[in-house]
Amino acid sequence: MGKLLAIAAAVTAELSAPPGAKWPPNNLNKVMGADYRFDENTLALFLTGVSERLRSATPAYLFAFERDFVKANLASSVGLLIGNIERKTTAAAPLVA
Protein backbone atom coordinates (compact mmCIF):
# COMPACT_ATOMS: atom_id res chain seq x y z
CA MET A 1 0.00 0.00 0.00
CA GLY A 2 1.31 3.45 -0.85
CA LYS A 3 2.14 5.95 1.86
CA LEU A 4 -0.82 8.28 1.33
CA LEU A 5 -3.29 5.39 1.20
CA ALA A 6 -1.80 3.89 4.37
CA ILE A 7 -2.15 7.24 6.16
CA ALA A 8 -5.74 7.71 5.00
CA ALA A 9 -6.56 4.16 6.15
CA ALA A 10 -4.94 4.73 9.55
CA VAL A 11 -6.79 8.03 10.09
CA THR A 12 -10.08 6.45 8.98
CA ALA A 13 -9.55 3.49 11.32
CA GLU A 14 -8.80 5.80 14.26
CA LEU A 15 -11.85 7.98 13.55
CA SER A 16 -14.00 4.82 13.33
CA ALA A 17 -12.61 3.10 16.43
CA PRO A 18 -14.79 2.66 19.49
CA PRO A 19 -15.42 4.00 22.02
CA GLY A 20 -16.56 7.34 20.76
CA ALA A 21 -16.23 6.66 17.04
CA LYS A 22 -16.55 9.85 15.02
CA TRP A 23 -17.03 8.11 11.65
CA PRO A 24 -19.31 7.19 9.92
CA PRO A 25 -20.39 9.36 8.30
CA ASN A 26 -16.99 9.99 6.77
CA ASN A 27 -16.32 13.68 6.18
CA LEU A 28 -12.88 14.97 5.17
CA ASN A 29 -13.99 18.58 5.62
CA LYS A 30 -14.77 18.47 9.35
CA VAL A 31 -12.26 20.19 11.64
CA MET A 32 -10.49 18.15 14.29
CA GLY A 33 -10.97 20.65 17.14
CA ALA A 34 -14.16 22.52 16.28
CA ASP A 35 -16.25 19.72 14.75
CA TYR A 36 -14.86 16.61 16.42
CA ARG A 37 -14.04 18.40 19.69
CA PHE A 38 -10.49 17.11 20.01
CA ASP A 39 -8.34 19.04 22.45
CA GLU A 40 -4.56 19.02 22.62
CA ASN A 41 -4.43 15.85 24.75
CA THR A 42 -7.05 13.82 22.90
CA LEU A 43 -5.60 14.77 19.50
CA ALA A 44 -2.15 13.66 20.71
CA LEU A 45 -3.67 10.29 21.68
CA PHE A 46 -5.39 10.08 18.30
CA LEU A 47 -2.12 10.80 16.47
CA THR A 48 -0.33 8.20 18.59
CA GLY A 49 -2.91 5.66 17.41
CA VAL A 50 -2.35 6.71 13.79
CA SER A 51 1.42 6.37 14.30
CA GLU A 52 1.04 2.87 15.76
CA ARG A 53 -1.21 1.77 12.90
CA LEU A 54 1.34 3.04 10.37
CA ARG A 55 4.20 1.29 12.18
CA SER A 56 2.35 -2.03 12.00
CA ALA A 57 1.24 -1.60 8.36
CA THR A 58 2.76 -3.48 5.45
CA PRO A 59 4.91 -1.80 4.38
CA ALA A 60 5.61 -0.03 7.66
CA TYR A 61 5.83 3.74 7.94
CA LEU A 62 7.20 5.98 10.66
CA PHE A 63 5.22 9.02 11.77
CA ALA A 64 6.63 11.07 14.62
CA PHE A 65 5.09 14.30 15.85
CA GLU A 66 5.67 16.91 18.51
CA ARG A 67 3.35 19.09 20.59
CA ASP A 68 3.54 21.97 18.05
CA PHE A 69 2.20 19.62 15.36
CA VAL A 70 -0.70 18.69 17.62
CA LYS A 71 -1.54 22.33 18.38
CA ALA A 72 -1.34 23.34 14.72
CA ASN A 73 -3.66 20.54 13.61
CA LEU A 74 -6.51 21.28 16.00
CA ALA A 75 -7.69 23.74 13.35
CA SER A 76 -7.13 21.31 10.46
CA SER A 77 -9.80 19.47 8.55
CA VAL A 78 -9.40 15.71 8.33
CA GLY A 79 -8.19 16.05 4.73
CA LEU A 80 -5.58 18.64 5.67
CA LEU A 81 -4.48 16.53 8.64
CA ILE A 82 -3.88 13.57 6.33
CA GLY A 83 -1.66 15.76 4.13
CA ASN A 84 0.21 17.11 7.16
CA ILE A 85 0.81 13.59 8.44
CA GLU A 86 2.01 12.55 4.98
CA ARG A 87 4.73 15.23 5.05
CA LYS A 88 6.03 13.92 8.39
CA THR A 89 5.90 10.21 7.48
CA THR A 90 8.78 8.16 6.12
CA ALA A 91 9.17 4.55 5.10
CA ALA A 92 10.43 2.35 7.89
CA ALA A 93 13.88 0.91 7.32
CA PRO A 94 13.67 -2.78 6.45
CA LEU A 95 14.99 -5.16 9.07
CA VAL A 96 18.28 -6.75 8.09
CA ALA A 97 19.24 -10.16 9.44
Q: pLDDT 10s digit of each residue in the chain, 97 long?
A: 799 999 999 999 999 999 889 999 999 999 999 999 999 999 999 999 999 999 999 999 999 999 999 999 999 999 999 999 999 999 997 656 5
Inside any domain, residue 54: yes
State which amino acid sits at residue 15: L
Residue 86 lies in a domain: yes
The total number of structural domains in the chain stands at 1
> Which residues are 89's β-sheet partners?
63
Domain span at residue 39 reads: 3-18+28-91
Backbone φ and ψ for 76, nearest 5 degrees, come out as -90, 145
The pTM of this model reads: 0.92
